[in-house]
A = this chain, B = another copy of it.
């Protein structure tokens, strides 16, 4: 494990211990143990990219100078707030999507002892963010901006979830609702704000910046987040499962994927009929027909063209930014995802 990642995980242990001894609640032994297990099960098991990128970004905003241990701790605490936010969304998303596994283990709500208590655990995860912020940032001049930022991003994510949920309503599989604009809107709100904008915004606030002055940075990161999700949709179907680490299921799951909305845009009437008849069915023949259609429509090429255009647009937007340090932050994000295979 990298040194940075192990330092980051040390901060998790500190934050967890503070939460388990929060003076604003009188824990029973049972409830303290419950939260302890719930956190270990749901918070630190992901790739931690979002959290770690707060430290990265803050360091780049300070021209790469060595950070003090206090700065590392604080950037890590903010990074963990994003990981907690992610855990909160995932615990509840799995319930709503009736999912079975997450990160190679049963979803939290699927554990027999947990069940619907997971709804309240999701809420607790969300509340832990405000506890962490209060414990470590209450005295900072940017404390209120941090609260506003997390509130705004949570609102946007929940709103994106809402359009996702009502567009892909179970029992009402209706491809006519899917289009490029709705795909973009879902992705922008549900994923891009919290995964791309939030880590950089945290770093900017810590560096003493005013977010109102950084609307351009926000827009670039949102575009990057959309590009990232289009890659995700592409890889779900076209990546080598060995490299991707999982077998994609977007076709049978009736997902509003970039591939299906592109197919709907490019297809003729006959192909459209095929899409309507076979998309969203958990049947290997139907899946094969959809994949063959994606090949007929040359979606791989269409994606590579999209990727090229996105990259060019993003690099020129980044180059237009007046601050070299901010450029470095944005380049670092783009470098991590451009042409990714997993």
Contacts and interface: CB of A to CB of B under 8 A. Distances in A.
B166 A151 contact: no
Interface string A189-228: 1000000000000000000000000000000000000000
A167 B27 CA distance: 12
Residue of A26, A169, A189 ringed by the most chain B CB atoms within 10 A: A26
Interface stretch (A70-78, A157-165, A295-303): A157-165
Interface residues of A, number: 49
Given A25-B155, A152-B24, A155-B25, A123 B92 contact: yes
A185 B95 contact: no
Given A127-B155, A127-B158, A120 B144 contact: no
B120 A162 contact: yes
Interface in A86-138: 92, 95-96, 98, 113, 115-117, 119-124, 126-127, 130-131, 134
Contacts of A182: 28
A253 interface: no
Contact of A120 (B26, B31, B143, B158): B158
- Copies of this chain assembled into the complex: 2
Interface in A226-281: none
Nearest to A152: B24
A130 B155 contact: yes
Nearest to A121: B162
A147 interface: yes
A28 B165 contact: no
Contact of A189 (B25, B119, B124, B185): B25
B158 A123 contact: yes
A83 interface: no
A29 to B, nearest CB: 11
A163 B120 contact: no
B127 A154 contact: yes
B116 A130 contact: no
B95 A156 contact: no
A116 B119 CA distance: 11
Nearest to A30: B166
A34 interface: yes
Given A119-B119, A143-B144, 10 more contacts: A95-B119, A96-B120, A117-B165, A119-B122, A123-B161, A124-B159, A127-B155, A130-B151, A130-B155, A134-B151
9 contacts: A25-B155, A25-B156, A26-B189, A28-B182, A113-B169, A117-B162, A119-B119, A119-B122, A143-B144
